[in-house]
Amino acid sequence: MHLSWSQIRMLMRCPKQWEFRYVKGVIRPPNFALVRGAGTHKGVEVNMRNKLDEGKPMPLENVLDVTRDAVISRIEENGLRLTEEEESRGLKVITGEAVDQAVSLSALHYTDVAPEIEPIAVEKEWELNIGEEDKSLKGRIDIETAKGIRDTKTSGKMPPKGSADKDDQLTMYTLVYRILNKKMPEEIILDYLVKSKELKTARLDTTRTVARLEAFLLRIETAFKLMESGIYMPCDRSNWWCDPRWCGYYDECPYTKE
């Protein structure tokens, strides 16, 4: 049994959704935001890898080509879940918009964020046993620097104050960093790339305490107990993600019937 961040986030949002995806194996196409984010992430990754391996940024046009190809290949391989409004405009148009936004955000990171980053590791894979040998936490840290860790997110609006302080993915990365490096990171940074009316960036610096890491470990232990129980409660239907626009399992979920 292992948990990745995507599984943990889904379990915390809606255990029933996690059951559909990871117990029943029902896979749904990603939505617009996920595809845009994946393409942007790939552009950031190849540029940081080039900076790590070659000591200099990858040419911008190459980064943008990789970003575009990542969006298109993701849609070709996995499809794209459209809202009713998006369906009315057609898959070709929405794909073009996803490509355009991902390319713009990737370029934004290249010009406004990447120059100050000196990576010592990119997409660093890790796996940690949790309590018992058959239970583990696994994933990748996006960017590690000499001072700590850095993660990148895309959004359609500026993040609210305190977003990085509450981000449990950063807590997980900090826990892993502390175990692997035998110390707490000096810097924990969340870079937001925002596509609203204008392109904007937001650098959010945060910290973590040992007590916070212990609380996160308690969440992990509880998640494993939930998995072992086979009991998957639905989320509160007033939550914004309990909606057919955001949940691919909404129509077949027994708890969403009117």
Nearest-CA neighbor of 45 among 125, 159, 101, 99?
125
pLDDT in tens, 31-56: 999 999 999 999 999 999 999 999 99
Judged by phi (left if over 0) then psi (alpha if -120 to 50, else beta), residue 231 lies in beta
Whether 169 has a pLDDT exceeding 90, the answer reads yes
The share of the chain scoring above pLDDT 90, in percent, equals: 90
Q: With contact defined as beta carbons under 8 Å apart, do 174 and 213 qualify?
A: yes
The pTM assigned to this predicted structure is: 0.91
pLDDT band at 245; cut points 50, 70, 90: confident
Write out the CATH class of domain 14-229: alpha beta
Helices and strands: H and E segment counts in the chain: 9, 6
Between the CA of residue 52 and those of 49, 183, 188, what are the distances in Å? Answer: 5, 23, 19
